[in-house]
Copies of this chain bind each other. A is one copy, B any other.
Amino acid sequence: MPAPQLDITHRLEFSAAHRLHDPALGDEANRQLYGPCNNPNGHGHNYEVEVTVRGEVPPSGMIVDLNVLALIMDEEIFAQVDHKHLNCDVPFLEGLVTTAENLCVAFWQRVQPRILALGGCRLLRVRVYECKNSYADYHGPQL
Protein backbone atom coordinates (compact mmCIF):
# COMPACT_ATOMS: atom_id res chain seq x y z
CA MET A 1 0.00 0.00 0.00
CA PRO A 2 1.37 3.44 -0.89
CA ALA A 3 1.85 5.87 1.99
CA PRO A 4 -1.36 7.78 2.64
CA GLN A 5 -1.54 11.45 1.69
CA LEU A 6 -2.69 13.89 4.33
CA ASP A 7 -2.90 17.60 5.03
CA ILE A 8 -1.46 19.26 8.09
CA THR A 9 -2.44 22.76 9.20
CA HIS A 10 -0.79 25.15 11.61
CA ARG A 11 -2.25 28.43 12.80
CA LEU A 12 -0.73 31.61 14.21
CA GLU A 13 -2.13 34.94 15.31
CA PHE A 14 -0.81 38.44 14.85
CA SER A 15 -2.03 41.95 15.62
CA ALA A 16 -1.72 44.70 13.05
CA ALA A 17 -3.18 47.97 11.85
CA HIS A 18 -4.26 48.51 8.27
CA ARG A 19 -6.34 50.73 6.02
CA LEU A 20 -8.12 49.80 2.82
CA HIS A 21 -7.02 52.44 0.35
CA ASP A 22 -6.16 52.23 -3.33
CA PRO A 23 -3.63 54.94 -4.23
CA ALA A 24 -4.82 54.75 -7.85
CA LEU A 25 -8.17 56.21 -6.79
CA GLY A 26 -9.07 59.60 -5.32
CA ASP A 27 -10.05 60.09 -1.70
CA GLU A 28 -13.77 60.23 -2.36
CA ALA A 29 -13.68 57.09 -4.52
CA ASN A 30 -11.76 55.31 -1.77
CA ARG A 31 -14.31 56.36 0.84
CA GLN A 32 -17.15 55.06 -1.28
CA LEU A 33 -15.41 51.79 -2.14
CA TYR A 34 -14.07 50.85 1.28
CA GLY A 35 -16.37 52.74 3.68
CA PRO A 36 -15.19 52.74 7.33
CA CYS A 37 -12.24 50.50 6.33
CA ASN A 38 -10.83 53.60 4.58
CA ASN A 39 -10.56 55.61 7.84
CA PRO A 40 -7.37 57.70 7.25
CA ASN A 41 -5.77 56.79 10.59
CA GLY A 42 -6.47 53.10 10.02
CA HIS A 43 -8.03 50.43 12.19
CA GLY A 44 -6.74 46.99 13.14
CA HIS A 45 -7.31 43.32 13.80
CA ASN A 46 -6.10 40.23 15.59
CA TYR A 47 -5.49 38.25 12.41
CA GLU A 48 -5.26 34.47 12.30
CA VAL A 49 -3.30 32.71 9.56
CA GLU A 50 -3.57 29.02 8.75
CA VAL A 51 -1.03 27.34 6.52
CA THR A 52 -1.92 23.89 5.16
CA VAL A 53 0.64 21.51 3.71
CA ARG A 54 -0.06 18.25 1.82
CA GLY A 55 2.22 15.26 1.56
CA GLU A 56 2.67 11.55 2.05
CA VAL A 57 3.21 10.36 5.60
CA PRO A 58 6.81 9.14 5.97
CA PRO A 59 7.97 6.66 8.65
CA SER A 60 8.35 9.54 11.13
CA GLY A 61 4.58 9.94 10.99
CA MET A 62 4.99 13.65 10.29
CA ILE A 63 4.32 15.15 6.85
CA VAL A 64 6.21 18.13 8.14
CA ASP A 65 7.72 18.73 11.55
CA LEU A 66 5.26 21.17 13.15
CA ASN A 67 8.14 23.00 14.80
CA VAL A 68 9.71 23.55 11.39
CA LEU A 69 6.41 24.69 9.89
CA ALA A 70 5.88 27.00 12.86
CA LEU A 71 9.38 28.43 12.42
CA ILE A 72 8.79 29.12 8.72
CA MET A 73 5.49 30.84 9.50
CA ASP A 74 7.13 32.81 12.27
CA GLU A 75 9.96 34.03 10.07
CA GLU A 76 8.01 34.65 6.86
CA ILE A 77 4.77 35.99 8.37
CA PHE A 78 4.70 36.78 12.10
CA ALA A 79 8.05 38.57 12.31
CA GLN A 80 7.10 40.69 9.30
CA VAL A 81 3.61 41.80 10.28
CA ASP A 82 2.97 41.47 14.03
CA HIS A 83 2.51 44.82 15.79
CA LYS A 84 2.96 46.59 12.43
CA HIS A 85 0.87 48.79 10.18
CA LEU A 86 0.39 46.59 7.10
CA ASN A 87 0.26 49.55 4.69
CA CYS A 88 3.40 51.30 5.92
CA ASP A 89 5.70 48.88 7.72
CA VAL A 90 5.79 45.77 5.51
CA PRO A 91 7.93 45.96 2.37
CA PHE A 92 6.37 42.93 0.66
CA LEU A 93 2.87 44.44 0.95
CA GLU A 94 3.89 47.78 -0.57
CA GLY A 95 1.46 48.92 -3.22
CA LEU A 96 -1.15 46.30 -2.33
CA VAL A 97 -4.59 47.04 -0.94
CA THR A 98 -4.34 45.16 2.35
CA THR A 99 -7.49 43.04 2.07
CA ALA A 100 -7.57 39.51 3.46
CA GLU A 101 -7.47 38.28 -0.15
CA ASN A 102 -4.24 40.09 -0.93
CA LEU A 103 -2.69 39.04 2.38
CA CYS A 104 -3.40 35.40 1.50
CA VAL A 105 -1.61 35.68 -1.82
CA ALA A 106 1.33 37.60 -0.34
CA PHE A 107 1.77 35.08 2.49
CA TRP A 108 1.53 32.20 -0.02
CA GLN A 109 4.36 33.68 -2.06
CA ARG A 110 6.60 33.98 0.99
CA VAL A 111 5.84 30.58 2.48
CA GLN A 112 5.71 28.44 -0.66
CA PRO A 113 9.45 28.35 -1.52
CA ARG A 114 10.26 27.44 2.08
CA ILE A 115 7.74 24.57 2.00
CA LEU A 116 9.01 23.35 -1.37
CA ALA A 117 12.57 23.36 -0.03
CA LEU A 118 11.53 20.91 2.69
CA GLY A 119 10.85 18.22 0.11
CA GLY A 120 8.05 15.65 0.28
CA CYS A 121 5.21 18.09 0.68
CA ARG A 122 3.60 21.08 -0.98
CA LEU A 123 1.66 24.13 0.11
CA LEU A 124 -2.08 23.50 -0.25
CA ARG A 125 -3.87 26.49 1.27
CA VAL A 126 -3.31 29.77 3.07
CA ARG A 127 -6.27 31.04 5.10
CA VAL A 128 -6.47 34.49 6.69
CA TYR A 129 -9.11 35.37 9.29
CA GLU A 130 -9.61 39.12 9.64
CA CYS A 131 -12.08 38.48 12.41
CA LYS A 132 -13.91 35.39 13.53
CA ASN A 133 -16.77 35.98 11.10
CA SER A 134 -14.73 36.56 7.96
CA TYR A 135 -11.84 34.76 6.25
CA ALA A 136 -10.19 34.28 2.86
CA ASP A 137 -8.66 31.11 1.37
CA TYR A 138 -6.01 30.88 -1.33
CA HIS A 139 -5.20 27.54 -2.95
CA GLY A 140 -2.42 28.87 -5.17
CA PRO A 141 -2.19 29.70 -8.85
CA GLN A 142 -3.14 26.18 -9.97
CA LEU A 143 -6.79 26.51 -8.97
Contact = CB atoms under 8 A, between A and B. Distances in A.
Given A7-B137, A10-B133, A44 B45 contact: yes
Looking at chain A's contact residues, is the secondary structure mostly helix, strand, loop, or mixed? Answer: mixed
On chain A, which size bracket covers the interface? Answer: 35 or more
A66 B33 CA distance: 11
A116 interface: no
A118 interface: no
Interface of A: 1-2, 4-13, 15-18, 20, 22, 24, 33, 35-37, 39, 41-46, 52, 57, 59-63, 65-67, 82-85, 88-89, 96-102, 104-105, 131-139, 141, 143
Given A7-B137, A43-B82, A57-B102, 18 more contacts: A4-B141, A6-B101, A6-B104, A6-B137, A6-B138, A11-B132, A12-B133, A16-B43, A17-B17, A22-B61, A24-B59, A33-B65, A36-B82, A37-B83, A41-B84, A42-B42, A46-B132, A66-B134
30 contacts: A1-B141, A2-B141, A4-B138, A6-B101, A7-B136, A7-B137, A8-B100, A8-B135, A9-B135, A15-B45, A17-B17, A20-B61, A22-B59, A37-B83, A39-B84, A39-B85, A42-B42, A42-B44, A43-B82, A43-B84, A43-B85, A45-B46, A46-B132, A57-B105, A60-B97, A61-B98, A61-B99, A61-B102, A62-B97, A63-B136
